[in-house]
Amino acid sequence: MTGVIERLAGVRQFLATLDGHLPESHRSAASAVLDHAAERLALSGNHTVVALAGATGSGKSSVFNTLAGSAVSSVGVRRPTTSIPHACYWGAEGVDALLDWLAIPVNRRFDGECPLDAENATSLRGLVLLDLPDFDSVDEAHHAEVQRLLGLVDQVVWVLDPQKYADKTVHERYLRPFAKHHDITVVTLNQADTLTPDEAQRCLADLRQLLEADGLDGVPLFATSTVHSEGLAPLRAHLERCLAAGDVPLRRLDGEVSQVLARLAPLVAPDASERRLDRATVRPLLDALATTAGVPAIVEAVEPAHRHRAASSTGWPLARLFRRLSPDPRRRLRLPAMVAG
């Protein structure tokens, strides 16, 4: 955590030092990141907020219910089914303030810990799982709510399905813009039970290529299903690893600081490419500047000036007298004595 705190302090000091001198767009963007970081760090550091985001019919709510261990989020044929975000949490201490910050309605908060299943609850201790409204809902209010929460959560699991995983709108409007949060992004191809093993592998390979084109190369990608008990095992194992590491919230904040620094860097230093000028590029410019300054003429005058001064100082007396009476080449160019030697 120390590294993130120090980087945030550095950005805060930078803004204070250059107050009134930065473009407003840069200042406001950096300030928003600082505000978000301060708010998140003031809340529970023992919880990781993971959002399930998906299109209509992706089975997102079924994934949520299966992980929660009960049907707490409505599933149905009417679309959109999820109109209000739901939250299921494991570990109650400090979670209320976090859910208040996320603005999750009190009647949509559920405790995932069950006394009869203590082992299962322990492995997910610290998880706050959100079921977001469908991001492709025709209701713009749902879309706005999704965007708001995507700006706050610690990690996002994009739940796609075999029918829509390649939809151009899904990638251009949602996944591609989220590439800046590469380190906190997970993708699942849900409803894998509707495919044969070969079909599932082909879909996963195709989806991996699409994600690479979106700038999300290398993000965790799983095939999931809620039909059988082991269908979510890969995703659940990933969540358990993240909870054990405990660094997902900091990874998001660290990534946001890096984006701020990348945007501010051009204001205080030239681009690195501008500093790597090769000799072939610089040589003609230097030659032109030298000619303009009269360097060739000066070079031509320096050598005879040295000979003139040497003869005036060391030659035969009559020759020295003659040299002293003759003009010094450097004087014709009005050069100082130090240039002539």
Q: Name which residue leads in pLDDT, 205 or 318.
A: 205
Let me know whether 219 and 237 are in one domain: yes
pLDDT tens digits, 110-153: 998 875 566 667 889 999 999 999 988 777 888 899 999 999 99
Let me know whether 199 and 321 are in one domain: no
Alpha-carbon distance values, 23 to 18, 83, 257, 264 (Å) = 10, 38, 18, 10
Calpha distance 63→236 (Å, rounded): 10
Let me know whether 201 and 252 are in one domain: no
Q: Quick one: which of 75, 46, 41, 34 has its CA closest to 58?
A: 75
Complete edge-to-edge strand list for the sheet that includes strand 86-89: 109-111, 86-89, 127-131, 48-54, 155-160, 185-189, 221-223
Peptide bond before 80: cis, by omega within 30 degrees of 0? yes
Calpha distance 309→327 (Å, rounded): 11
Q: What is the pLDDT, as a whole number, of residue 200?
A: 96
Let me know whether 119 and 31 are in one domain: no
Let me know whether 146 and 236 are in one domain: yes
Let me know whether 126 and 80 are in one domain: yes
Let me know whether 147 and 99 are in one domain: yes
Alpha-carbon distance values, 16 to 10, 35, 236, 284 (Å) = 10, 14, 43, 43
Structure tokens at 153: 């959560």
Structure tokens at 38: 């301060």
Percentage of the chain beyond pLDDT 90 is: 60
Q: What count of Cα atoms within 13 Å lies in the side-chain half-sphere of residue 62? A: 21
Let me know whether 70 and 155 are in one domain: yes
194 exposure class (CB count in 10 Å sphere: 0-12, 13-18, 19+): middle
Calpha distance 14→91 (Å, rounded): 38
Residue range(s) defining the domain that contains residue 175: 46-245
Considering the entire predicted model, what is its pTM? 0.77
Let me know whether 66 and 165 are in one domain: yes
Q: What is the pLDDT, as a whole number, of residue 211?
A: 98
- Strands 109-111 and 86-89 come out as parallel
Write the CATH number for 157.
3.40.50.300
Let me know whether 217 and 235 are in one domain: yes
pLDDT tens digits, 278-300: 666 667 766 766 666 566 666 67
Q: Where is the domain boundary, 245, 266, 288? A: 245
Residue 174 clears pLDDT 90, i.e. is over it: yes
Average pLDDT over residues 294-318: 63
